[in-house]
Amino acid sequence: MGGGLRAEQKCTQPRMLVPPALPRRVFLRLDFSRYNPAILIFSGSLMHTDPYLWLEDDSAATRAWCAEQQARTAAQLDADPRFAALADEVLEHLRDDERVPFVEAHAGWWHHFLQSPAHPRGVYRRIRPDDYRANRDAWEVLFDLDALAAAEGVDWHLAGIDHCTERPARCLLSLSADGGDAACLREYDLDARAFVAKGFQLPPGKHSVTWRDPDSLYAAVVLSEADATASGYPREVKLWRRGQPFAQAHSLLKAEHRALAVSAWRMLNPDGGEPVDIIEEALSFYRTRYWRVLPDLSRQALPLPPKVDIDGVVAGQLIVRLNQAWGDLDAGVLLALDWQALCAGEIDPLPLFTPGPRQSVDGALAGRSCLFVHVLDEGVSQLWVYTPTADGWQAQRAPLPGQGQLEMVDQPWQSNVLLFGYDDFLTPSTLYWLDADDASLTPQALRGQPPRFAAEQMHAQLRHTIAPDGERIPYFVVARRDAPHDGQRPTLLYGYGGFAVPMTPFYLGALGRQWLEQGGVFVLSCIRGGGEFGPDWHEAALAERRQVAFDDFLAIARQLIADGVTCPARLGIQGGSNGGLLVAAAMTQAPELFGAVVCEVPLTDMLRYTELSAGPSWIDEYGDPADPAHYAALAAYSPYQHLHADVRYPATLVTTSSSDDRVHPGHARKFTARLGELGQPVLLYQSDAGGHSGQGGDMRQLAAEVARVTVFLYQQLMDAA
């Protein structure tokens, strides 16, 4: 992640480390360490070599092979008579001026990053709240990414904008030349509409940089291999003062090379009290050591368990979420700790919210004198407001428009206001304003997106199936009300199932027109490995237990067929990144269940994933191939090694990006090559820009990618007689 992407110093810590992908919304864009990597497994045998190891390299041969695959894909998908019209329709949706501009509040202005036909890369702009509420077009452009790209001859992608809370006109811009995670850093003055002369700046790298105050930064920087951990993230965090060469910045902590990363941030107290400065030393993806930065810049270890998230400070109380049991407290509990007592080594946690068996705390934001808490209950959002009083914390639930998903958009500094978005499968996105100082806690709608499809003709249902081990697995089914129950409906099953990321209802937008109105069914799976029901739900499919997630997904597929929703020839599956691993495993384990597979930016070679890009950072999630026990579990399902010559696999579309520096494109290339060798129906599309997420780049490119997937699903699931 680029520097400053999530440096929300006023309320929460930056999240520098990321899973293979936060799942892309459907149609919108989720001693073995020394083994010879050429000796791997195919079809249960250890005697074969890996003939496609060369596709991990960015060589002329690899580029030529990819170009050949692109041509095959274009001949089948781009040449389809429906492709151009679909791409235009998706582009219209992406450019839609009626889309809700989600804003962040700074110093009396509301800020928004806009991509449009006139500004395909985007402009950063601001508006006064009264003009926004009145829907007046009174935006002021502050930064034009297209103009910068033209002036410098670089295809810049915006990776992040971080305002200095105490001087909001000063920003850190993170700019990526190809959409990858590595980004350069430049300081920008919004009032002057110019980069700051001799301001803070860094060359490209996987940095984590946040404001400490207007004249200093907490900077964890990767400028060379020596600066990086084995996962490629920063291993040293420094206090960098204005005008100071970075080499002279004061070192606060330097982690071991085997650690995952380090970062630091400041949480300001809106009442003027002392700020809270934290160093986060990520020992692995889920284990963290937290340090307090003392006034003399020495550090003090905080007596917190290793699996905990810090969400902010309210009224002198540190707000944390437990991802493991701690004493008498269960994993998943949200609690408050007196900050001064904690610093003195006294631990007296006060539970604020204890989730039930089908609940989880999805996030929390600290206001001036309250705490906003997002709870998931059976995958549906709830919003709670906690207020400290003389008699303890008071909890009040705020009403939401329906049974959908909440997105915390912004918590304006020195206020008890929350800006949040709401949508569900059939309800367009709307931006709301909630003032916790209003006793009624009634959200006010600010802007809403017009409907994109005939939702009154559709219905959404929460259903359950039983996994092989007896667990009850939820999934959502969205379809036309008048659809026949003949077992022949084209159905798209989407999944992720990893990194504690929950799958929740979201507006289907263009998918409504392109899929539901055409008679298709959409299914969203909520399988283990995700975060729908808290840490236990996630850990049930962790590391050597990964097969549990695949079993849950396959159980939903079988249930859809058994209930007469669809049949194997009409059932397609889609997933990106970790979800790409999911669908690749599903198609290798039960190919007879599916008619089509969309496998986006996937991991597929789980015996080599730690050797590629950011792979080592995910050992907590998948296990370590260097550990014999983990190796056995990984080898049992690694999709690349489980493609058999005597099996017929469903038609597969694999996507990746040559600029993906998170999940290496070699995974997608090798999986495609092996399927092609076996004579299987497979297509590969590799973009040149957009990195892993595919966002922030050319809107035409994104629209074409969406249209390509849609045409593929039409051809495989709808066109069949």
Strand runs labelled E in 96-222: 104-106, 109-114, 123-127, 140-144, 157-164, 167-176, 183-189, 194-195, 201-205, 208-213, 216-220
Among 133-137, 187-191, 371-375, the least confident range:
133-137
The alpha helices in 41-139, defined as continuous H runs, are 60-73, 83-95, 129-133
Q: Average pLDDT in the 335-339 region?
A: 97
pLDDT at 637 over 90: yes
Q: Average pLDDT in the 248-264 region?
A: 96
User: In angstroms, rounded to a whole number, what is the distance separating the alpha carbons of residues 492 and 508?
Assistant: 13
Main-chain dihedrals φ then ψ at residue 128, nearest 5 degrees: -75, 145
pLDDT at 7 over 50: no
Query: What is the model's pLDDT at position 179?
Result: 76
Q: Mark 209-239 as b/e (b = at least 16 C-beta within 10 Å).
A: bbbbbebbbbbbbbeeeebbbbbbbbbbbbb
| Residue keyed to tokens 């003090």 | 300
User: In angstroms, rounded to a whole number, what is the distance separating the alpha carbons of residues 1 and 93?
Assistant: 27
Residues in the chain: 721
Residues 6+ apart with CB under 8 A from 555: 465, 466, 467, 468, 473
pLDDT at 31 over 90: no
Reported as a single tens digit per residue, the pLDDT across 179-229 is: 778 899 999 999 999 999 999 999 999 999 999 999 999 999 999 999 999
pLDDT at 41 over 80: no
Main-chain dihedrals φ then ψ at residue 445, nearest 5 degrees: -75, 130
pLDDT at 416 over 50: yes
Reported as a single tens digit per residue, the pLDDT across 295-313 is: 999 999 999 999 999 999 9
Query: What is the model's pLDDT at position 690?
Result: 55
Reported as a single tens digit per residue, the pLDDT across 185-195 is: 999 999 999 99
Average pLDDT over the chain, rounded to an integer:
90
pLDDT at 453 over 80: yes
Are residues 303 and 290 in contact, defined by beta-carbon separation less than 8 angstroms?
no
Q: CATH number for 53-91+452-718: choose from 3.60.130.10, 3.90.110.10, 3.40.50.1700, 3.40.50.1820.
A: 3.40.50.1820
pTM for the model stands at 0.91
Reported as a single tens digit per residue, the pLDDT across 143-177 is: 999 999 999 999 899 999 999 999 999 999 999 98
pLDDT at 239 over 50: yes
pLDDT at 27 over 60: no
Reported as a single tens digit per residue, the pLDDT across 693-720 is: 555 456 788 889 999 999 999 999 999 6
**Spatial CA neighbour of 229 closest among 196, 200, 262, 201:** 262
pLDDT at 42 over 60: no
* Helices and strands: H and E segment counts in the chain: 13, 37
Catalytic residues: 577, 692
Query: What is the model's pLDDT at position 8?
Result: 27
pLDDT at 38 over 70: no
Amino acid making up residue 617: S
Query: What is the model's pLDDT at position 688?
Result: 83
Query: What is the model's pLDDT at position 116?
Result: 83
Question: Which is more confidently placed, 181 or 94?
Answer: 181
pLDDT at 79 over 90: yes
User: In angstroms, rounded to a whole number, what is the distance separating the alpha carbons of residues 242 and 212?
Assistant: 11
Reported as a single tens digit per residue, the pLDDT across 528-559 is: 999 999 999 999 999 999 999 999 999 999 99
| Residue keyed to tokens 């550090």 | 299
Query: What is the model's pLDDT at position 3?
Result: 26
Question: Which is more confidently placed, 564 or 13?
Answer: 564
Percent of the chain predicted with pLDDT > 90: 83
Are residues 165 and 413 in contact, defined by beta-carbon separation less than 8 angstroms?
yes
pLDDT at 25 over 90: no
pLDDT at 351 over 90: yes
Q: Average pLDDT in the 56-74 region?
A: 96
pLDDT at 17 over 80: no
Query: What is the model's pLDDT at position 92?
Result: 81
In terms of DSSP bridges, do strands 430-435 and 417-423 run parallel, antiparallel, or are they unpaired? antiparallel
The alpha helices in 594-684, defined as continuous H runs, are 619-622, 628-637, 666-677
DSSP result, 309-349: EEEEEETTEEEEEESS-BTTBPTT-EEEEEHHHHHTT----
Query: What is the model's pLDDT at position 648?
Result: 97
pLDDT at 21 over 70: no
Are residues 619 and 284 in contact, defined by beta-carbon separation less than 8 angstroms?
yes
Are residues 62 and 676 in contact, defined by beta-carbon separation less than 8 angstroms?
no
pLDDT at 414 over 80: yes
Query: What is the model's pLDDT at position 720?
Result: 67
Query: What is the model's pLDDT at position 35?
Result: 27
Which tokens go with 149?
């790209």
Question: Which is more confidently placed, 170 or 30?
Answer: 170
Among 29-33, 92-96, 114-118, the range with the most confident prediction by mean pLDDT is 114-118
Are residues 528 and 548 in contact, defined by beta-carbon separation less than 8 angstroms?
yes
* Separation in Å, CA 12 to CA 261, 678, 708: 18, 50, 39
**Spatial CA neighbour of 28 closest among 451, 512, 405:** 512
Burial class of residue 498, CB neighbours in 10 A (0-12, 13-18, 19+): buried
Reported as a single tens digit per residue, the pLDDT across 592-625 is: 999 999 999 999 999 999 999 899 999 999 999 9
pLDDT at 13 over 80: no
Q: How far is C-alpha 522 from the chain's CA centre?
A: 21
Query: Where residue 427 falls among pLDDT bands split at 50, 70, 90?
Result: very high
List the domain boundaries for the chain: 53-91+452-718
